Amino acid sequence: MTFNYKTLALSVTAITAIGVAGLALAEYPEDTITYIIPFDPGGESDVTARFQEPVLEEVLGVSVNVTHRPGGGGAVAWSEFQNSAEPDGYEIIGVNIPHIIGQPIQRNDAGYTTDDWRIVTFFHSTPNALIVSDDSPYDTLEDLIEDAKENPEAITLGGSGTYSANHLDMLRFEQEADIDLTYIPFSGTGPLKGALEGGHIAGIFNYTMLGTEMADSVKVLAVAAEERVKALPDAPTFKEQGYDIVGGAYRGVAVPKDTPDDVVATLEEAFAEANRQITERQEPLGFVMEYITGDEVDEVMAMLREAYGPILEEAE
């Protein structure tokens, strides 16, 4: 009997040892990775994920499964992720600025916090742009500002969502230029186009993509980027015209907080490679490719939190 026990004990020890060794040696990744998109299919986040998917699969050598968990402007998926995702790198989720900064400030029950995860990288940004239709009386940013000074609140600018990147940067623009405009939130880019074409709003404060998409029928008065966007070479930046507004939506990907460093590093590289391979297809659409990782992530977050935080706190 004792012999049997001994054997058992030995074998258990051996198996455990092998198991632990195996775990330590196993190269991440060796299993399917689930890539959660917290928005509906067809949006910018989804389109980008579809571009990335084949490259990620090639680089990582496992299949990457893009799933959608829309709701609450992303909050449903984010709260679920922070509550239940395992820190093993097999569950990753798309994150967007300013959503993850704004929602927890604005809502009592957002169900997640801005920092309770580890952001692997921000892979691109879409700068804001001020767009008016071709037959608009405003030919330059100055025209619009002059009119706004004479008729405060009379100029209506449509954007996507409330306290979104569009809304927040429009509020910053109001402060910088010392004018009063009226912001009208729409539920996405599709209805915005219709509203501008139908003359229901004076202009649009949306992303550069809409400027490229509607290039034939609109004038882009200003772009909220450091330098001119490749897809819109003729559109001046706010900075050029003397207004210090750089902002827009940043898209990236996050993992749970305790995810091992080597896993994060592997993902970083994979997303960077995906970016390099899809640049040619994304840049013409108006995206600005980014390679923000590590400490830079914190810098970007701090910069935008500083820019948007006070506006959001004030609104609350």
Partner 1 sequence: MDMLLEALTSLLTFESMLTVLIGVSAGLFIGAMPGLTATMALAMLLPFTFSMEALQGLIALGAVYMGSIYGGAFTAILINTPGTPSSIATTFDGYPMARQGRAYEALAAATIASVVGGIVGVIFLLILAPPLARLAVAFGPSEMFWVAMLGLTLVASLSSDSLLKGLLGGCIGILLSTIGVSPVGGESRFTFGYPPLQGGIELIVALIGLFVIPELLTMSAEGRGALPDGGELRKKEVSIAKIARRIFSKPANLIRSCLIGQVIAIIPGAGGNVTSLVAYNEARRFSKEPKSFGKGNVDGVVASESSNNVMVAGSMVPLLTLGIPGAPPDAIILGVLLMHGLRPGLDLFTQSGVLTNGFILSMGLAALMLLPVGLLGGRVIHRVVIRTPYYFLVPSIAMVTILGTFALRNSMLDVGIMLLLGTAGYFLRLIGIQAAPIVLGLILGGIAEQGYVQTLMAAVVDPIPWLRLVRNPLSMVLAGLVVLGAATALVPMWLARKGLLDKVDDNDSGGSS
Chain positions contacting partner 1, by CB under 8 A: 40-43, 46, 67-73, 75-76, 79-80, 106-112, 151-154, 156, 161-164, 182-188, 190-191, 193-195, 197-201
Which DSSP category does 62 fall into?
S
Our CB check for partner 1 shows the closer of 33 and 264 to be 33
Our CB check for partner 1 shows the closer of 151 and 175 to be 151
Identify the H or E element spanning 109. Answer: none
Our CB check for partner 1 shows the closer of 223 and 286 to be 286
Our CB check for partner 1 shows the closer of 121 and 164 to be 164
Asked if 196 and 184 count as a contact pair (C-beta separation under 8 A), the reply is no
Q: Which two tokens stand for residue 288?
A: 């600005």
> Shortest approach of partner 1 to residue 283 CB, angstroms?
20
User: CA-CA distance, 22 to 35, in Å (whole number)?
Assistant: 26
Instruction: Look up tokens 């960077």; give the residue.
Output: 272
Our CB check for partner 1 shows the closer of 111 and 236 to be 111
Bridge-based pairing of strands 156-160 and 203-207 is parallel
Asked if 235 and 209 count as a contact pair (C-beta separation under 8 A), the reply is no
> Shortest approach of partner 1 to residue 190 CB, angstroms?
4
HSE-up (13 A, CA, CB side) for residue 17: 6
Nearest to 77 by CA among 121, 120, 122, 36: 36
Our CB check for partner 1 shows the closer of 156 and 241 to be 156
Bridge-based pairing of strands 203-207 and 118-133 is antiparallel
> Shortest approach of partner 1 to residue 40 CB, angstroms?
6
Which DSSP category does 20 fall into?
H
Nearest to 91 by CA among 64, 70, 115: 64
> Shortest approach of partner 1 to residue 174 CB, angstroms?
14
Task: State the greatest distance between any 2 C-alpha atoms of the chain, in Å, as a whole number.
Answer: 98
> Shortest approach of partner 1 to residue 153 CB, angstroms?
5
Q: Which two tokens stand for residue 201?
A: 């709003």
Nearest to 282 by CA among 47, 42, 38: 47
> Shortest approach of partner 1 to residue 60 CB, angstroms?
22
Our CB check for partner 1 shows the closer of 107 and 257 to be 107
> Shortest approach of partner 1 to residue 225 CB, angstroms?
25
